[in-house]
Chain A
Amino acid sequence: MPSPIALTTPPRQESIFKKRSPSYLTAMRSAQSYLIALSEADARARSRDSASTMSTPALSLSSTATTLSEEDVVNDAPCDNSDGLAFPTTPPTSEQFSSANHLQFGFCANENYRYKSAHKAGTQLKELHEQDPPYYILLTTYLGYLFLICIGHIRDFFGKRFHPKFYGHLLPFDGYAPLNSDFDSFYTRRFKTRIDDCFAAPVTGVPGRTIALLDRDSDDYNNSFFLTGTTTRGLNISSYNYLGFASAQGGCADAVEESLRRYGASSCGALLEGGSSEVQMTAEALVASFVGQEDALISSMGFATNSTIIPALVSKGCLVISDELNHASIRFGVRLSGTNIRMFKHNNMKSLESLLREVISQGQPKTHRPWKKILLIVEGLYSMEGTLLNLPGIMELKKKYKFSLFIDEAHSIGALGPNGRGVVDYFGVNPREIDILMGTFTKSFGAAGGYIAGSKTLIDRLRLRGHGGAYAESMTPPVLTQIMASMASIMGVSPSTSSALELAQHHPGPAHPCQLPAWIDLPPSLRDGSEGRMRLRRIAFNARYLSRGLAKLGFITYGHTDSPIVPLLLYNTGKMCVFHRMMRARKTPIVVVVVAYPATPLVTSRVRFCVSASHTKDDIDTVLRACNEIGDVLDLKHLPGERWPLERIFNSAVELVNMEDE
């Protein structure tokens, strides 16, 4: 293998990667046939008058050329298994097995590879202390930055003199200030561009257990990329597909198809102005009972849920207390609200309590009037750290200090808790004690958008005062259907006996049949909740297995063991791209996300694994094996403590997962 540092894309002559030319690139027609079709279609459209419910013509040139038949989809599954992704190592025996499905949702029948995600009652949430790397690692990391800064400045110095046209857009030109200043873009130009092949890689197909990357290449040092026309399928340990509901087949996809046929793909406007539909109301009621609140509202984008609802909750004279690592959407919303904001140290209850004592006693700045409201905004599971919210600690503080609590469950909803109802479920807290539960559907549910749940009065207030209700487009029916179908599969639908009201009393219980539109016809395994439970138990197992396994191999990871997000620390920025490229160039390619400053602190560059229920134990083994090899090459194993050889980890996976926290 050539040196991984030298590669930007895997060598093309090696045949370990499957290559298929994508079918959608073949559309090209003569101008004449195009014009003929054009006029025909227009005539057709005119002649068919307003009798039908819609009068737009059914013409599409591209669609005729790019239609995918059912066969294509099945053929999408590779016939060879050279990368070891298409078939499980222990061949399936009883059930009917399709490798197309296996690529999206791994086949894993062994009931031992399951775990229940729940906090042990009566125990404290483990305090995380971040393991520091040896000093030479820190030193080389800083030196690495220093070196890059120097090189960057030298290149800028000569570049500006010898290639001024490359710097044109950074300098004032013809009376215009540059859109992007030389200084602001230094990091992007001189750091990120060097390793841009590791970021924002385009993909195709379902972001399931495996994912197909579109191969690309650059002939101008990563300033621009072109697609080479081939694809590489790799094990996907990066997408937020926690429960494996990203799928083109199965009960949920069937329901979505039915909804497309019934409702089309448009929502036609803002909720208050002509975009309200019965489907939306049904979905909102289902979400409310899923999270155990009185009412919920759904917005068409997760980011916008935060950025448009927070300003409706707090205003001048209020205070927002925010975890220092909160998501950008929360910060965006708080900034728009114009309130005061204070931060406390990440998930640190001591820091939070001392801050609370300070702000309540001091009151508003200058005037010292008491705060009108204090809103604490935290996340259930932090997406870069893998830390679980210390909810028991916060609930205790909430009793004493009376602040309102807003939990962003973007990553935790579905992915955590014995019933998949997020951190609240994980810790067994009554959801009604929390003022606002927010979450997104982009992750565990394989859909899009976000929700806000709380008491009915509050949610009604937000329907009117949130920016989204009046101005933002509402969610489209297919996406709503995906949410309802996947959510009902997690909850299970009760055989219709008891009244809906009764069901609402037993919070993490099944959905009532009337909560689902009658036309959603889930297959039995989804309807009775058995598959949903299986998914919850699989992701819990995989999460613990991966983080424990990595620790036993000697890697420094962050976060709690139950978190499906497992960040593995790399420190040196240079190792990021090498790690990424080596993972991708393996016989079984593995697709990983590497992150560095500014998403993380300067020195703690990391690779972030997102475990999914769709992974099998074998998949986690594959990841561990790859990490082990690459970790040796890149000198990544710095965790003190007992190390286990790979085989021992593989063989005692169950024991490892069931081990208590020290």
Chain B
Amino acid sequence: MVKAITNTNDFVVKFANVNGSGSASANELFARAILRMGVPVSPRNIFPSNIQGLPTWYEVRVNEKGYLGRRGGVDLMVAMNPQTWAQDLRELEPGGYLFFDSSKPLPKSRFRDDVNVIGVPLTEICNSTYTDVRQRQLFKNIIYVGALAALLEMDIPEIEKLFGEQYKGKEKLLGANVKALKLGYDYAKEHLQCPLGIRVQRANNVRDKIFIEGNNAAALGCVYGGATVCAWYPITPSSSLAEAFIRHCQKLRVDPVSGKNRFGIIQAEDELASIGMVVGAGWNGARAFTATSGPGISLMTEFIGLAYFAEIPATIINVQRGGPATGMPTRTQQADITACAYAGHGDSKHVLLFPEDPKECFEMSAQSLDLADRLQTPVFVMTDLDIGMNQRLCDPLKWDDKYQMDRGKVMDYDALEGGKDFGRYLDADGDGIPFRTYPGTHPTKGAYFTRGTTKDRYARYSEEGPVYVDNMQRLLKKFETAKRLVPAAIGRPAKQPTKLGVLYFGSTAPAMNEALDAFDVQGINVDAMRVRGFPFGEEVIEFLEDHEQVFVVEQNRDGQLRSLIMNEAATDGSKLIPILHYDGTPITARFIIGEIAEKVAILKVTPIRKVAN
């Protein structure tokens, strides 16, 4: 007999579909229904760079404990794409379940001996129920959700409730969907053994959490942070961020009396133009941002350098993906750290923020607008495809109504009229940050000519060496100030004191949290710290000093954060051990545990078990 995986509320379902077949909404329905049963899920889209016809996958990890990282391995494959059948079959864990459309008989050789096969004649059911071709296609997806609901013991009323919300006021559609769901459910109940060894059981671990894509949350953050100008050029995986900003603005930012917009969004001709517009708006005192990905950053680099030297606020949300051209780029990576930290020509470096999930995408996008104004410099929000384009369970978004935008050091008419000394590049307060004026402020005072490098403290043209050096030193001082303003790193000490540490950031967080829990159980003691901003704050420096070996976990080939640490935190590189995952799939706890456990063994570090007191 074939072994069968048994597990309640802890398994991975993967849907293999054909792009453009309408499966996306059915798959999301499946994930949401489990959430409604109080069981956390984390779905991930895996899609190729095309629109229609090619394969796409949707992988749902169901995990009662709330681990949201990718697990790796598949327990139940919903194989709806004949094209990828062999590959999909291979991915199944032994004892896993293969769900497929059994309308056409398949030879035994197409299956595996060690997996459980569940056939549902989806096409047959559809063809005998619907005459319309499109309906046959769309309802096939709902029918398989119905069958899965029976197989996994999911609550049908929860799914019906979701339909009710989705098709409010469209009773006909609602009825048709419920009917399709029942078709699948009833077929499974009648013909198959329900439930399977894996199943969902009602729990209470979702509570008030929300289910949102990072890009959507970041867009909301820009609305709440007071951005009025957005200029962008479409690029996966960032486009949905700008598109979400458009939607939110249309709902939240239209003057109720005049019907006019308190926002200006431009789909620019390229990224050179989108960053140029952001820089122009920032120069003129509006909060502005762009959303892009790696190739866009490359094109923006000249402007980013200019904004650094001319000291102009600009927010750049980089939804990172793989390297150049097309293909891998629709996969996830954290591989633009170096490119962003040092974007520009001449000596320049930039403020980076690293959100771990949609909630931080929201908070850090809003905060980046404050930081850009306060520091008068480009600020990058370094999210990625994994956070940006997947719905992720996270705490509800919160807003403090007492919030006031920090517009930074802006000299207004009264200050100028009152005779305050205005030097555009003068360090008036000792923090390296000069005052600026908005164009048009005062008839005779406060105007200046903005250019890159060739200027003195009063923005007068100068090509003299000492004047240049003076300005460059002040910019360094400003960067020092930034250390105190960026979000601080968050530490998680091990159960026992240890000289081993691990640094990580961004979308690695869910996998890392899971790995750290596992280390706790295994008695491997590693102090962890999640870096949230660059330049690195004091806490990061101390962490590095306090540990003899520090793993740096990242999703790129070259250990880019590690290099940044070596460059900017004056640390001996030999104690920084890279843990690198960069095949385009999101990093997993399994990977981290494997790598670190192996390296700990090699280091022959015996975990300190007793607390020295």
Indicate, yes or no, whether A interacts with B.
no
What is the interface of chain A, defined by CB distance below 8 A to chain B? Answer: none
